[in-house]
Chains A and B, each alone.
Chain A
């Protein structure tokens, strides 16, 4: 049999001769059944995946594409008492390039030109780029940082030419900016990237790698207020992590949590006073100044020198700049990292005399009118204690005003003003203990007692110690802030305030969230008569012929302003020590006396107390007093100016001042 016509002559084996399918019979059914069962098994598996485990799989699918991106918050702005910005965020722009995508012939020279990179730097980076491009690895595909914190002009130029610059990206990063730069840097503090070690404990508070955190000053102490809370938003991303829009319907509620901006801080500091202090400090290498309101304990000026530029430390200008800034910070023998107003304790020298006088007066150990003869020195035991010069007959008033050491030596040696009495009076005025300002590491200073001295001298007490203590020398040390607070308490009749640097917490639109009232630490229990005697003597020190501060006062211009002052100079001897290391080059400097001035103004109706320390400055009247006076002058100029400016507009704007004084 042959097949149909189309196959023509093709001869096929006849059907009858062909092998039949009998061997397979019965197997078709089984194999069909087997295959059907396998298909059914697949259906069962799909039922499991698609019906029973839908929820899990859907969740996994959502997890793939729905990403929670954090929304950055903004750190609170720090302002001074009149609203000037002391610290705020600013955007910085960094340039990143992808080595592989960068055209070295056309794009690279353009980039160098637009950004304005020096030839050396450009050459170095070019070498690096070429090396990366020649590399086989995946690194040439990764973005690398070209330049940090480029200028606004460069940003604008790059934006204009964006299309010509494939492989170049400008990335904005927020950076903390301090417009007053070095001025008042210690009080404000700076920011730094959070340590890996600390991150472990801070993660619960919402910190992440690369976050910046306040390291010193107000930035650190008020970190939790300033920082704000990050928000988040769920977005749709694809497998490569690129953001995709149009399918927001698959995102479950809640989709977004808005970031909460950090709180703004209103400080008690005054930027203009700070600037004036900085100006007055020109010519002196190191020291610190604190000025505060004697009626509230609010700090108006807080200044430490040498300082650093918190802008450099806080980043933005790049890791190299940060590294260099830190190297300078810690290699300088003048210790710029140290806040000299609270973190350094110094012998107060003669500025301590009013407290010795008070100790004597309160115990009735001396009649303020009794006269002691100063012959330029006092011999006690085998030692001779020197005075600055021969004062002749000195009573308490003159002893303070002209700063006669012999008068105070005699109090200790002959009138029974013991070491413990002096220490007791010092402690009452807040020396020897931390003030509790809360910013920067505060030292307590020291009010040595007889017991303490005995312990230090291996069981032996030297009577001469009391003579040293009476003039604020020897083991006695104080901080600038302590001294300012104590003088404020001398001025205001005995109220020792808790120092305050943050006046209020505000929202970003200016609403006050929390205002901090002045807090009194204690009322110093000293009789009004004794206090008055000391106050008059301190006033005489500035205004009377022979007063140690008179020359500086006459030169300050405060008289023309009509501001009287009361206060005391101090020249504290430094225990001679062998200078070594970085100090060696300037040994003469490190063995010079510390210059002090502490006091208040106006003398009879005090508003501000101020203490200035010039480390190794020499005579207090010559080196510290002018600085303190300039600070006071800046304050009163400012207050007067404000009073003129706001007269009529705000008749009641007395800032809590006692009225009357023009």
Chain B
């Protein structure tokens, strides 16, 4: 017997509280941290946390509304959304007026700055989910079988790279790789892949990457060489993290941020602020929250009742995972400094909405893992 249950009943029965609570915890920590981080400014920047709360609210409402729509509806829209995303990315070149750090990433609509590359991550996940859903296999795949998903990935990735935004381009590729790892690729194919990627990385580094992008990578390899220049961020964020020690300097007590040594603390470098204020204890707590959210999303994927849902959840998990890892990794000096935000911590509307939509998708999958059947404990 199939029960038709209402959305409210589904919310009651299947709402993913662990995911919601851990995400909320991160968001609250993020806003508190943003408040402390921007307290060094006066004027508009000191009030970024208020806008961030607004973004969180808008994103929460949007996520909630999306929750009401069965994720399977997205399946039909998959390529349409993808095309919309790619179109928006192309628009950046045509319309972009905003210049942030020498690159064009924004489109301005009704006074809002909108960053298509952020949303592209979601569209890509949906498109990949749809492709894999429509191409069900159980036997091993060769690289050729992943050719179309790869094309789906590299078209927006290259557009983003030309903005230029190395960080987001890498995230797109990493999302694709994470999802591709879910499929049963032949080991031989994997080996062939590695053999192609390594030389091509060199070619990309040599011919495609721009001067400042190369400089960032060089800086990453040897940050002390250039403390006052590009290495300033890398060096000082590492120092800030280390200065936190075991338990931190206390809220708004970290000197690296308070005295202006973390200039991008509200956007790309909120983690050093947090790590300096709360120390190793706080940092581990935060990583545990991200870790839990990631692992939980993978668990949701494993429980999904179809491939589309599983890939959506894996995609959501990898958006979260790669952002957190790359951002914390770059501030801790183990990865080059690229403009990748820390989910729910970095200030920014597009970033906040993207993360919340991704989480909402995961929850959507989570809530509908039992299909029309009520949760087992309610049977």
| B280 pairs with A21, CB closer than 8 A | no
B299 within 8 A of A: yes
| B295 pairs with A23, CB closer than 8 A | no
Query: Which residues, 1 to 15 on B, are CB-close (under 8 Å) to A?
Result: 2, 4-7, 10
- From B42-50, B68-76, B93-101, B336-344, give the one contacting chain A: B68-76
Query: Which residues, 1 to 56 on A, are CB-close (under 8 Å) to B?
Result: 1, 3-7, 10, 12-13, 15, 18-24, 27-29, 31-32, 35-36, 38-39, 42-43, 45-47, 49-51, 53-54, 56
A566–B306 Cα gap in the complex (Å)? 127
Residue numbers in B under 8 Å from A13 (CB-CB): 72
**Residue in B182, B259, B324, B333 whose Cβ sees the most chain A Cβ within 10 Å:** B259
Residue numbers in A under 8 Å from B372 (CB-CB): 1, 3-4, 15
How far in angstroms is the closest Cβ of chain B from A139?
20
Residue numbers in B under 8 Å from A51 (CB-CB): 245-246, 280
- From B18-26, B84-92, B207-215, B233-241, give the one contacting chain A: B233-241
How far in angstroms is the closest Cβ of chain B from A506?
44
Query: Which residues, 234 to 282 on B, are CB-close (under 8 Å) to A?
Result: 236, 238-246, 255-256, 258-261, 263, 275-276, 279-280
If A50-B279, A64-B255 touch, does A24 touch B310 (CB 8 Å cutoff)?
yes
| A32 pairs with B299, CB closer than 8 A | yes
A53–B238 Cα gap in the complex (Å)? 11
Selected from A35, A45, A237, the residue in CB contact (under 8 A) with B317 is A35
A247 within 8 A of B: yes
Selected from B136, B183, B280, the residue in CB contact (under 8 A) with A20 is B136
Query: Which residues, 147 to 176 on A, are CB-close (under 8 Å) to B?
Result: none
A61–B255 Cα gap in the complex (Å)? 7
A238–B262 Cα gap in the complex (Å)? 11
| A28 pairs with B259, CB closer than 8 A | no
A279 within 8 A of B: no
A28–B304 Cα gap in the complex (Å)? 11
A605 within 8 A of B: no
A110–B275 Cα gap in the complex (Å)? 52
Residue numbers in A under 8 Å from B178 (CB-CB): 31
The prevalent SS among residues of A at the interface is helix
Residue numbers in A under 8 Å from B290 (CB-CB): 39
A249's nearest neighbour on chain B, judged by CB, is B253
Residue numbers in A under 8 Å from B68 (CB-CB): 6
If A23-B138, A24-B182, A239-B260 touch, does A35 touch B298 (CB 8 Å cutoff)?
yes
Residue numbers in A under 8 Å from B138 (CB-CB): 22-23
A463 within 8 A of B: no
Residue numbers in A under 8 Å from B317 (CB-CB): 35
Selected from A4, A19, A42, A238, the residue in CB contact (under 8 A) with B329 is A42
B378 within 8 A of A: no
Query: Which residues, 274 to 331 on B, are CB-close (under 8 Å) to A?
Result: 275-276, 279-280, 283-284, 287, 290-291, 294-295, 298-299, 301-302, 304-308, 310, 314, 317, 321, 324-325, 328-329
How far in angstroms is the closest Cβ of chain A from B261?
5
| B291 pairs with A54, CB closer than 8 A | no
Selected from A49, A237, A247, the residue in CB contact (under 8 A) with B332 is A49
B188 within 8 A of A: no
How far in angstroms is the closest Cβ of chain B from A228?
32
A240's nearest neighbour on chain B, judged by CB, is B260
Selected from B7, B73, B242, B307, the residue in CB contact (under 8 A) with A24 is B307
| B184 pairs with A46, CB closer than 8 A | no
Query: Which residues, 187 to 245 on A, are CB-close (under 8 Å) to B?
Result: 236-240, 244
| B314 pairs with A23, CB closer than 8 A | no
B294's nearest neighbour on chain A, judged by CB, is A35
B195 within 8 A of A: no
Residue numbers in B under 8 Å from A31 (CB-CB): 178, 181-182, 298, 314
How far in angstroms is the closest Cβ of chain B from A511?
43
Residue numbers in B under 8 Å from A49 (CB-CB): 238, 241-242, 332-333
Residue numbers in B under 8 Å from A58 (CB-CB): 242-243, 245
What per-residue 1/0 map shows which CB atoms of A98-133 lie under 8 Å from chain B? 000000000000000000000000000000000000
A28's nearest neighbour on chain B, judged by CB, is B302
B interface, size bucket: 35 or more
| B70 pairs with A3, CB closer than 8 A | yes
Selected from A39, A62, A237, A250, the residue in CB contact (under 8 A) with B325 is A39
Residue numbers in A under 8 Å from B305 (CB-CB): 15, 18, 20-21
Selected from B7, B287, B325, the residue in CB contact (under 8 A) with A4 is B7
How far in angstroms is the closest Cβ of chain B from A251?
11
| A239 pairs with B259, CB closer than 8 A | yes
| A7 pairs with B328, CB closer than 8 A | no
A4–B244 Cα gap in the complex (Å)? 52
A12's nearest neighbour on chain B, judged by CB, is B72
| A43 pairs with B260, CB closer than 8 A | no
| B245 pairs with A36, CB closer than 8 A | no
A185 within 8 A of B: no
Residue numbers in B under 8 Å from A240 (CB-CB): 260
**Residue in B5, B6, B260, B372 whose Cβ sees the most chain A Cβ within 10 Å:** B260
How far in angstroms is the closest Cβ of chain A from B322?
9
B62 within 8 A of A: no
How far in angstroms is the closest Cβ of chain A from B140?
10
Selected from B242, B283, B310, the residue in CB contact (under 8 A) with A54 is B242
A37–B211 Cα gap in the complex (Å)? 33
Residue numbers in B under 8 Å from A32 (CB-CB): 294-295, 298-299
Selected from A10, A39, A53, the residue in CB contact (under 8 A) with B242 is A53
Residue numbers in B under 8 Å from A39 (CB-CB): 287, 290-291, 294, 324-325
B144 within 8 A of A: no
| A7 pairs with B70, CB closer than 8 A | yes
| B182 pairs with A46, CB closer than 8 A | no
Residue numbers in A under 8 Å from B329 (CB-CB): 42, 45
Selected from B137, B259, B283, B284, the residue in CB contact (under 8 A) with A238 is B259
A22–B305 Cα gap in the complex (Å)? 10
A28–B314 Cα gap in the complex (Å)? 9
| B295 pairs with A4, CB closer than 8 A | no
Selected from B239, B263, B301, B302, the residue in CB contact (under 8 A) with A60 is B239
B72's nearest neighbour on chain A, judged by CB, is A12
If A4-B10, A32-B298, A47-B280 touch, does A244 touch B259 (CB 8 Å cutoff)?
yes
B216 within 8 A of A: no
If A6-B68, A23-B184, A31-B181 touch, does A65 touch B259 (CB 8 Å cutoff)?
yes
B4's nearest neighbour on chain A, judged by CB, is A4
Selected from A15, A45, A238, the residue in CB contact (under 8 A) with B260 is A238
**Residue in B2, B5, B295 whose Cβ sees the most chain A Cβ within 10 Å:** B295
A240–B136 Cα gap in the complex (Å)? 59
How far in angstroms is the closest Cβ of chain A from B108?
28
Residue numbers in B under 8 Å from A50 (CB-CB): 241-242, 244-246, 275, 279-280, 283
**Residue in B244, B308, B325 whose Cβ sees the most chain A Cβ within 10 Å:** B244
A215–B210 Cα gap in the complex (Å)? 56
Selected from A21, A43, A46, A237, the residue in CB contact (under 8 A) with B259 is A237
A10–B291 Cα gap in the complex (Å)? 37
If A12-B72, A61-B240 touch, does A23 touch B325 (CB 8 Å cutoff)?
no
Residue numbers in B under 8 Å from A454 (CB-CB): none
Residue numbers in A under 8 Å from B133 (CB-CB): 18-19
How far in angstroms is the closest Cβ of chain B from A35?
5
| A19 pairs with B136, CB closer than 8 A | yes
How far in angstroms is the closest Cβ of chain B from A72?
25
A32–B302 Cα gap in the complex (Å)? 10
A320 within 8 A of B: no
| B70 pairs with A236, CB closer than 8 A | no
A residues at B contact (CB < 8 Å): 1, 3-7, 10, 12-13, 15, 18-24, 27-29, 31-32, 35-36, 38-39, 42-43, 45-47, 49-51, 53-54, 56-58, 60-62, 64-65, 236-240, 244, 247, 250
Known A20-B306, A54-B246; further 9 A-B contacts with Cβ < 8 A: A18-B305, A21-B302, A22-B138, A23-B307, A24-B314, A29-B302, A39-B290, A39-B294, A57-B240
Q: List 5 A-B contacts (CB under 8 A).
A: A18-B307, A24-B314, A57-B240, A61-B255, A64-B261
